[in-house]
Amino acid sequence: GTKLIIDTDPGVDDAFAIALAARSADVDLLGVTTVFGNVPLATTTSNARRLLQLCDRPDVPVAAGASRPLLYRELHRSSTVHGSDGLSGHAASLPDATRPLEDSDAVSLMVSLLEASDEPVTIAPIGPLTNIAALLAAHPGVRSKIARIVLMGGAITLGNSTAVSEFNIWADPDAARRVIAEDDVPCVMVPLDLTHRCAVDSTWLAKLAASGPVGQALNSFTPDYLAHYRQVLGYEGIVLHDAVAVAEAIRPGILRAETYPVDIDSGLGPTRGMTIVDRRAVPNRPTGRPVEVAVDTELDVLREFVLSRLAGGR
């Protein structure tokens, strides 16, 4: 099965993404590392540990990473969408984690998991890219052990944190730019343009809720999130951004990608955090390096894949 590390800031859609990997029997989930993002690091870390417990995966180690962006101190939160506890007020109803938090930090855990692995490992960053930038900068030797980086982030057209910037990139554009610049590590970017099209509706959520305790818990995180996405989408549904990226990480090819030069605006002006995807027919002087950008999928296949994995258990 796919060897996988998830780097995350749970987050409602992160919760779905973690459960998707944790409940897939064909995935070897080596570890979960946490980063600040939707809510502060202590909260994302506690949520990640409780979510793995919910999924009956106390075998998966969790290590905490960056509590702030690489360069600038301002912290961008999205607790209006995810609730102040990251899970719409339901984090406390999750079981306590039985497995202690790792003593080592996120970067050290990733290094030891990569070095110990006999096969290349897929990394799925579904939060700000601070930990991944630190890993690649400090430990260039592990690059050969990374099969792919499949990240949720970026926007070809419209952003969600600003008019042009998507949250995970905007929360630490300097880190994101550092990661995108690593041209010897294959990188798939799953942008908002696609994740919005993969929204799931209330019928899908009702099936999930009826599938068992894990599905029920995941569904319990969604009321505020539904209220937010009702306005964005114009119908009763939610966008599971991070689960779309993890679906590609564990089922390569479920998303259709096209290769374009990509760069990130790490300047301090109004387009800070913008992903520039160079879709010109003739990119005479390409902006950025070639990245696989996920642009399409069979929507019904993807929704059924995610639902069956979340509902089925291992």
Residues recognised as catalytic:
241
> Which of 78, 122, 165, 266 forms a contact with ligand BDR (CB under 6 A)?
78
Q: What residue 160 binds from ligand BDR, Ca ion, none (CB within 5 to 8 A, per partner kind)?
A: ligand BDR
Contact 127, 44 (CB under 8 A): yes
> Which of 7, 85, 166, 292 forms a contact with ligand BDR (CB under 6 A)?
166
Strand-strand pairing, 255-264 and 62-64: unpaired
**Between residues 167 and 305, which has the closer beta carbon with respect to ligand BDR?**
167
Contact 195, 158 (CB under 8 A): no
Contact 58, 98 (CB under 8 A): yes
Longest CA span, the chain = 55
- The site for Ca ion, by CB under 5 A, has a size of 6
**39 lies in the site for ligand BDR, by CB under 6 A:** no
Contact characters 110-139, ligand BDR, x per CB under 6 A: ----------------xx------------
Interior angle at CA 55, CA 20 and CA 37, nearest 5: 65
Name which of residues 153 to 212 contact Ca ion (CB under 5 A).
none
Name which of residues 7 to 36 contact ligand BDR (CB under 6 A).
11, 13-14
Cα separation, 262 vs 234, whole angstroms:
30
Residue 18, amino acid: I
Residue 148, amino acid: R
**241 lies in the site for ligand BDR, by CB under 6 A:** yes
Please list, in sequence order, all residues whose beta carbon lies within 8 angstroms of the beta carbon of residue 147, skipping any fewer than 6 positions away. 3, 119, 120, 121, 122, 186
Name which of residues 210 to 269 contact Ca ion (CB under 5 A).
242
Residue 223, amino acid: P
**193 lies in the site for ligand BDR, by CB under 6 A:** no
Cα separation, 134 vs 131, whole angstroms:
5
Give least dist CB 11 to ligand BDR, A. 4
Reading the block at residue 250, the tokens are 């564990």
Give least dist CB 10 to ligand BDR, A. 8
Q: What residue 191 binds from ligand BDR, Ca ion, none (CB within 5 to 8 A, per partner kind)?
A: none
Binding residues for ligand BDR (CB under 6 A): 11, 13-14, 38, 78, 126-127, 152, 160, 166-168, 241-242
Binding residues for Ca ion (CB under 5 A): 9, 11, 14, 126-127, 242
